[in-house]
Structure 1
């Protein structure tokens, strides 16, 4: 702490020096003092208006209401700037590692490269990472009712905010000046079943000369949607749903009930369990692959059951004319339930040749007589898997702000904590006890109908995973004029910040011993502290030209330091025409999950290219066990970006903006298990195999070892276009809007195995549509108003890894409609429909659910009604 205190002391000395040299000049240059400056996302210096050198989009509460969304991820998923890596609770299942969580990825650069702020300050990440390593801020912690506006900064901002602001910044500004009281109730339902919603909120507050108090209570409840609720995902056998499509696949699991029997010495020598009383159902028999399959899709969650209760309090107190105090308290309890089919095993369990339950004990002529066996089977008899996640989130900010002469200052301490408990309450077998039950004869895996409740209770377990994430920050900001120039004041801002972060994600001892199969869990523990100094100058070069210079130095306890500059300009040669541009560098520190991940089992679908090339076996993608661990030697991702744009107000009724952006990111932290598998498949320290005795056969894969590396680069560029047209008529006031993101280039590079790089992904390929746009029409007349929105996501190629890169995933267009009526005193009635025409997501061949749930929604038509009363 000594070096931290020294740097903060030096910063304070610099601030005092700046004050002493500039206070007189600042007092004289007060032409703008009568006009209140406002805080703008992306800058430490308060401005006279929202429009600045960096591209910024603001969406206020009324606009959010008119989109018809019920949570923040619903809003962000509709924004054209959102890309691959944006994820919601859609697709959560018993195999997910971030159940109940949602976050947004600007420009498809990743949720961990998009910085989420609340009232301009950082919040803690979820204790449970997405996909075992992606640290993200769970935006489900913020109810729609508490939001005043959302600012989206669409260029890199590490020079202002530090790590994670590679793609941009989303600042969620909460309501803090509400006067009176308001109660709202909303109910909604889907057209195809599941997903019914209820939402109730209460807002009340009062403003006096000295005090401002705003209280917000919000309750949200949504029932689950299962894949079986949708016709296109009701079965994992997509071939049966698309019999005339030669590329449609049967994704049913190779682990069935009662399953497939194989020799322990050679798991490729297998037969379908058609013996005894319990036999593989005829519809699940796969003679070509010699497997008993299982249709897991009907039992899996598409959208989980969710229940959230939150409270928000924002208080402001004016101590004197030049000193104010403020507090923000936010809290939420959220519960979610996710489901999956019965747990699968893939040759993890064994039966000795002399076991009393041996299926061929009475068949001496059978080749498997008295042979040690293994099996692929599901423990359906103990139930389908069910996980319950309970999360408590708390955020507290306490601060002071004021003025010294003409200088503004702000100091605050914030503490944010998120705690989650995930429990597997049904359908999870303990593999150690399952093996003991097989050995003792208590449990017969080949005759599930004969097993006693005692046997089932013995093998079933309850799993527990406990996570905690904290963020503690102390910051001080000072800004003001340091000189008077001919075009205005030269403004300076300085900021010092100290931050401590910690995460803990700990599954129970069963996971750590590897005793639970059929699920995925992470273990990660880590902490870090960082300190930073930032400076920003706003230079009025001319009456028509403003230049902003910013730089931030940040020092991390676990990987070193980084300095990131940014320069931007706003040039307004005409009253109705402005040109803007920015250039800067940014970085993303390796997440604590990536650094401190313990042994974690994953179940990716991979192709054993080594074995396929050697003996022609395992040429199709199937599930394997991959063992991941963190890498403490990771360095930060680094990027540079620039933006050039034009803002033109053609007349008082029509204006538009057009921005070109470009990002170049290096040292991306990632893993590529398929690359590791194919490149090092013969290395026993990387891929563990069982010998089969077949000539030239490298053997059956047991597990693959992998980790995270700084292995990637990415280059992307594109256009953002926004146009608005307003028209007042006798029929009402109209506003037509069009917002588009067009990706000109998206090239992701990964190692090629020969010391070079290969192009791994580019624009237009799988999950990378080149164009997204939204067209909206707002209308209002007297007590009526309505909004119509048309949302478009362009087509893209199929999944090359699933061998369907030659197929196209079609474009998707949805229509949303919202109508409001204010003709009753103090009351607003709203009726809305999202996806008005119940458009199904376009078919994709890559997975069992038949669509790309990372890009398209399976919710279908959602109809809702809302009433708001103010008093």
Structure 2
């Protein structure tokens, strides 16, 4: 991989970085400005409030002591409001423990598999190793899997108005919840009751323009559980987020031309179609929305002239015009890349696809309705029922489709390319405009006898075909998603014969319509080229019927379901020296289903032309039931020492079972200091998308061997190139298994101060991935037989050397249990609450640091990912930052309050061990520094990113208040990251989006009765 890391214009204080770098820094910060809480202090009631018995995440036993044996973060609804957060996905994405493999809404704008969704990835172990719950109950999967293999819960299905708090358990929890809780659990606790009426409305906009937001929410409730014995509330929300295009931002995000960024060896590519580098090098003819053609003989085997604009009279229309000069020719010759087919004086059109088409943030509409009724039947019996409806819609657009393309392999491994010769377009150069056109359905060769000269081919009268390079600019390409979720839950809680018991049922369905507009259907492209019905000379004259025929809208309707019955009970058994020995037992059964039909299935008969170009054929269909039994034993052995044992056995209808034990302990050294630790085992069941799915293809960027590049005259072909990794599901996959450990302490030196420190470690075996494709690539480039289990499909040939070996287009292989991962790190927090006289101060600082993250393959090869772009294949190049943290402080003056929240993400190296970089901790390929052309020095690292949000609130009257949020208040810029993928330009969409949006102002009005 030969991508360079670049400097950003980061505008934020560096003191936050030091504060969040470790426990000592946190202690200093709290001493300077005392803080509020993680764990006990955050969840503890005020001194004059009685402590109620509750169940915290990771346990089934009710208790008053909320200091968990595992790292537990509690974020209240008030904390969220003070951060200006309006959606549940914003809550999760800002968590310090959220790392590589996270998926924000902005992924929807850039070609990801799970369009329209958002997912969290605690510890960087990806979305399928973090369990997301609501009120301790599971949710249905998003119908589209992340990377077409990882089933996950979409965070856009949980209304924020009904959130009471968010509990984040940073520890393995399979002994309580079963599969998927390897890295931790995010449990979103909704309001148990609400009285009165509260409504909020807000509008927001960025200082630079774009990404406007507006929204309204309301909640109304009546009845008191304590006085009336019942409560009922309803809630509704609506939020609209406008699209933000890269063209609405400045350099380096708004253009494909990165040639102003250079290092001692070379400059970054221009990237513009038909672009000219600053050193006068011409990059070569590329596809634009103005058709470019080149004449070949009638057999399409020999060149007969130079490239030219198809409609020379119309010129470049809305594009820039470039005229090839002798200086361009000379510069290419000096670089060893002579220009072919573009003589001096040739006029071509330049197109910057990033500036013209690319979207940074999609348009999103969210609507929700919630209702809950809670009834207290007696002092020992209570029941509830709840209903939630959520609708999330997204809209995104990007560049139109190209006439020269290659289809993604389907289930039969078939593919089709218009960039190579075929029965439809015989010859060496693939798609061309023929000499004659004939009516559609003609079954014999089209000649002067049965056809007419092709009006689209300017060389037809000379008995020559026209090789074509073209984007279908008159057919906009855009996608929409419409996700509807319905969730019902009901439960009873009571006491009987000394047992505290809890019975719950839940059901949820997610239905998704994913529509792709402007994709080209292969056979229909062949038809309109051969019958001349599509006007390439003047595309504005095409009828909508012709466009619809060429690109029929592809709608993929999918759904997922889950239903569960859960029962748990706990009771005291006996008195021990330190307190009451308590036993908890439980059982549950659930049903899971995903029905996601292939987006681009193989046609009947196997004709590869009866499919779409570029639509990934991924899909999955399957169902299963899971029955489980579990227990928990909490033993206060002495007044200072507590031990907790828990375990769970899960039995899957698909033919496997797993037992997950856990032991945790807490030792109270004195009233101020308590030590805690855990040991556990967990598992992740193979996802339905991993065991019952159609092939899926994800693309990565590699560089070809030096001798291959030299054979192509060092013209840039193969350096780099994009290759699709096509994986095939397997019904024989075993569960991933994990072993976890944590150890730490909680220190409360005063009533108002609290510190926590927790070291943690996770080992995973039998990781489900594709095998090592490197030997298959080596064999392909060397001309040797491809290893068994792999298939390499050639890609598009080099236009200047079409008879040489092309770069690989796709590597096909199956999913297997193949390797192990080890990850370790530290979580720290500091918190406090103080009355300063003139105001009350609360402050919380927390950070998560990854010490190391390695993957060991069966061969013994070990790859290290922390602090790099790895694991690149899983995170799509978003990488694994070593340190993430935030610090929130609030001054409450009574009627007014002010909150500042600082967010920090450390930098990382532009290397990835799973993408061809074999070394850790160094800059890639010796490029130790780079400069902009203006002389600024750029290191090979992607910089750390710090930004600060400000929130102010003023109580106008008892019923009315206003809030002002200034997000990214100091306008910190997103660090420049040239390793970005999915058409994301120069920034990390997983962690740096606030820096792309820039300073953002949001005004909120709130009314309460």
Q: Shared fold (TM-score greater than 0.5)?
A: yes
CA distance in structure 2 between the partners assigned to 1:391 and 1:734 by the alignment: 41
The alpha-carbon deviation at position 833 of structure 1 amounts to 1.0
**Are residue 715 (structure 1) and residue 822 (structure 2) matched?**
yes
Which of 478, 493, 500 in structure 2 is aligned with 1:401? 493
Structure 1 range deviating more: 697-706 or 778-787: 697-706
DSSP-derived class of the 1:631 partner: coil
**Are residue 732 (structure 1) and residue 751 (structure 2) matched?**
no
CA distance in structure 2 between the partners assigned to 1:680 and 1:718 by the alignment: 39
1:100-115 correspondence runs (5 A):
100-115=116-131
Which of 343, 365, 368 in structure 2 is aligned with 1:310? 368
The alpha-carbon deviation at position 294 of structure 1 amounts to 4.4
CA contact (8 A) 2:868 2:910 kept: no
The alpha-carbon deviation at position 516 of structure 1 amounts to 1.8
Structure 1 range deviating more: 433-442 or 248-257: 248-257
Residue in 2 that maps onto 1:139: 155
1:828-839 correspondence runs (5 A):
828-839=961-972
DSSP-derived class of the 2:611 partner: coil
CA contact (8 A) 1:77 1:104 kept: yes
CA distance in structure 1 between the partners assigned to 2:302 and 2:732 by the alignment: 38
Residue in 1 that maps onto 2:765: 666
CA distance in structure 2 between the partners assigned to 1:855 and 1:532 by the alignment: 37
Residue in 1 that maps onto 2:219: 203
5+ residue gaps, structure 1, are: 1-33
Cα distance change of structure 1 residues 441 and 363 upon mapping to structure 2, 3 Å threshold: closer
Cα distance change of structure 1 residues 556 and 844 upon mapping to structure 2, 3 Å threshold: same
The alpha-carbon deviation at position 551 of structure 1 amounts to 0.8
CA contact (8 A) 1:296 1:341 kept: yes
1:576-615 correspondence runs (5 A):
576-609=672-705, 612=708, 615=711
Structure 1 range deviating more: 607-616 or 737-746: 607-616
CA contact (8 A) 1:145 1:218 kept: yes
DSSP-derived class of the 1:578 partner: strand
Cα distance change of structure 1 residues 780 and 614 upon mapping to structure 2, 3 Å threshold: same
The alpha-carbon deviation at position 151 of structure 1 amounts to 0.1
The alpha-carbon deviation at position 865 of structure 1 amounts to 1.3
Cα distance change of structure 1 residues 740 and 699 upon mapping to structure 2, 3 Å threshold: closer
5+ residue gaps, structure 2, are: 1-49, 274-285, 343-348, 407-416, 419-430, 437-452, 871-878, 918-922, 928-939
Cα distance change of structure 1 residues 460 and 407 upon mapping to structure 2, 3 Å threshold: same
**Are residue 769 (structure 1) and residue 881 (structure 2) matched?**
yes
**Are residue 218 (structure 1) and residue 237 (structure 2) matched?**
yes
Structure 1 range deviating more: 458-467 or 166-175: 458-467
The alpha-carbon deviation at position 677 of structure 1 amounts to 5.4
Deviation string for 1:762-816 (max 9, x for gaps)?
A: 3345522222222232111221111112211111112455988452101111011
Residue in 1 that maps onto 2:472: 379
CA contact (8 A) 2:261 2:267 kept: no
CA distance in structure 2 between the partners assigned to 1:185 and 1:267 by the alignment: 66
**Are residue 422 (structure 1) and residue 521 (structure 2) matched?**
no
1:175-190 correspondence runs (5 A):
175-190=191-206
Structure 1 range deviating more: 394-403 or 248-257: 248-257
Deviation string for 1:503-537 (max 9, x for gaps)?
A: 11125667866622244453211111111111111
The alpha-carbon deviation at position 735 of structure 1 amounts to 2.8
Structure 1 range deviating more: 798-807 or 329-338: 798-807
1:639-650 correspondence runs (5 A):
639-650=738-749
Residue in 2 that maps onto 1:27: none
CA contact (8 A) 2:207 2:998 kept: yes
The alpha-carbon deviation at position 176 of structure 1 amounts to 1.9
- Normalized per residue, the structure richer in strand is 1
Which of 346, 356, 362 in structure 1 is aligned with 2:405? 346
**Are residue 295 (structure 1) and residue 352 (structure 2) matched?**
yes
The alpha-carbon deviation at position 411 of structure 1 amounts to 1.6
Residue in 1 that maps onto 2:900: 788
CA distance in structure 2 between the partners assigned to 1:270 and 1:190 by the alignment: 51
Structure 1 range deviating more: 44-53 or 707-716: 707-716
Residue in 1 that maps onto 2:669: 573
CA contact (8 A) 2:771 2:816 kept: no
Cα distance change of structure 1 residues 445 and 674 upon mapping to structure 2, 3 Å threshold: farther
DSSP-derived class of the 1:650 partner: coil
Residue in 2 that maps onto 1:249: 269
CA contact (8 A) 2:698 2:725 kept: yes
DSSP-derived class of the 1:436 partner: helix
Residue in 1 that maps onto 2:448: none
Residue in 2 that maps onto 1:798: 910
Cα distance change of structure 1 residues 271 and 115 upon mapping to structure 2, 3 Å threshold: farther
**Are residue 239 (structure 1) and residue 330 (structure 2) matched?**
no
The alpha-carbon deviation at position 360 of structure 1 amounts to 6.5
Residue in 1 that maps onto 2:573: 482
Structure 1 range deviating more: 339-348 or 684-693: 684-693
CA contact (8 A) 1:716 1:747 kept: yes
CA contact (8 A) 1:247 1:845 kept: no
Residue in 2 that maps onto 1:18: none
User: Cα RMSD over matched residues?
Assistant: 3.2
Cα distance change of structure 1 residues 40 and 697 upon mapping to structure 2, 3 Å threshold: same
Residue in 2 that maps onto 1:867: 1005
1:672-691 correspondence runs (5 A):
675=774, 678-679=777-778, 681=780, 683=785, 686-689=791-794
Q: Which has the higher contact order (CA 8 A, sep 6+)?
A: 2
**Paired residues, number:** 828
Residue in 1 that maps onto 2:505: 413
Cα distance change of structure 1 residues 509 and 53 upon mapping to structure 2, 3 Å threshold: closer
The alpha-carbon deviation at position 620 of structure 1 amounts to 1.7
Structure 1 range deviating more: 225-234 or 82-91: 225-234
CA contact (8 A) 1:492 1:536 kept: yes
CA contact (8 A) 2:132 2:139 kept: yes
Cα distance change of structure 1 residues 724 and 453 upon mapping to structure 2, 3 Å threshold: closer
CA distance in structure 1 between the partners assigned to 2:305 and 2:542 by the alignment: 24
CA contact (8 A) 2:176 2:647 kept: yes
Structure 1 range deviating more: 320-329 or 855-864: 320-329
Deviation string for 1:377-402 (max 9, x for gaps)?
A: 3211222x111211110111122221
CA contact (8 A) 1:621 1:802 kept: no
Cα distance change of structure 1 residues 268 and 853 upon mapping to structure 2, 3 Å threshold: farther
**Are residue 162 (structure 1) and residue 181 (structure 2) matched?**
no
**Are residue 855 (structure 1) and residue 991 (structure 2) matched?**
yes
Cα distance change of structure 1 residues 255 and 854 upon mapping to structure 2, 3 Å threshold: farther
Residue in 2 that maps onto 1:809: 942
Residue in 2 that maps onto 1:319: 377
Cα distance change of structure 1 residues 802 and 870 upon mapping to structure 2, 3 Å threshold: farther
The alpha-carbon deviation at position 83 of structure 1 amounts to 0.7
CA contact (8 A) 1:673 1:706 kept: no
CA distance in structure 1 between the partners assigned to 2:1004 and 2:472 by the alignment: 44
Cα distance change of structure 1 residues 734 and 247 upon mapping to structure 2, 3 Å threshold: farther
**Are residue 840 (structure 1) and residue 973 (structure 2) matched?**
yes
CA distance in structure 1 between the partners assigned to 2:75 and 2:494 by the alignment: 28
The alpha-carbon deviation at position 265 of structure 1 amounts to 7.9
The alpha-carbon deviation at position 140 of structure 1 amounts to 1.3
